[in-house]
């Protein structure tokens, strides 16, 4: 499934308003059991965007994490790309990259 299909499915499944502007989509990485996201700093610092939706595809379908942009402000930025990188373990929902090794379980909808 691609991002467009995931957005359509999630909008029906969760009766919500997922868009390319407020949502990031990831499949399980082929080399290790994680979901990888690169979230632009511009979205995190956006005045009207209070949450970033993460749609995570696994063997059961889609999982939705609604993450506060304020929560993401403490993560390490890849300055060259202007993004925050998240590598979420598929079993624990814990970020396993960088110093911010925190759980994202509380954001599961």
pLDDT digits (tens, 9 = 90+) for 26-80: 999 999 999 999 999 999 887 888 999 999 999 989 999 999 999 998 787 888 9
CB contact at 8 A, 88 and 37: yes
Q: What is the mean pLDDT of residues 19-31?
A: 95
Burial 74-104 (b: 16+ CB within 10 A, else e): ebeeeeeeebbbbbbbeeebebeeeeeeeeb
Range of the domain at 31: 3-107
pTM of the model: 0.91
Q: How many domains does the chain have?
A: 1
Distant-in-sequence contacts of 1-6, Cβ < 8 A, 24+ apart: 1/27, 1/57, 6/55, 6/57, 6/62
């Amino acid at each position: 499934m691609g991002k467009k299909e995931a957005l359509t499915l999630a909008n029906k499944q969760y009766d919500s308003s997922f868009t390319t502007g407020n949502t990031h989509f990831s499949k399980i990485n082929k080399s290790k059991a994680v979901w990888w996201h690169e979230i632009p700093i511009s979205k995190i610092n956006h005045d009207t965007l209070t949450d970033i939706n993460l749609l995570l595809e696994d063997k059961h379908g889609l999982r939705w994490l609604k993450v506060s942009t304020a929560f993401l402000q403490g993560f390490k930025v890849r300055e060259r790309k202007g993004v925050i990188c998240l590598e979420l373990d598929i079993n624990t929902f814990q970020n396993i990259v960088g110093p911010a090794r925190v759980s994202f379980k509380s954001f599961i909808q």
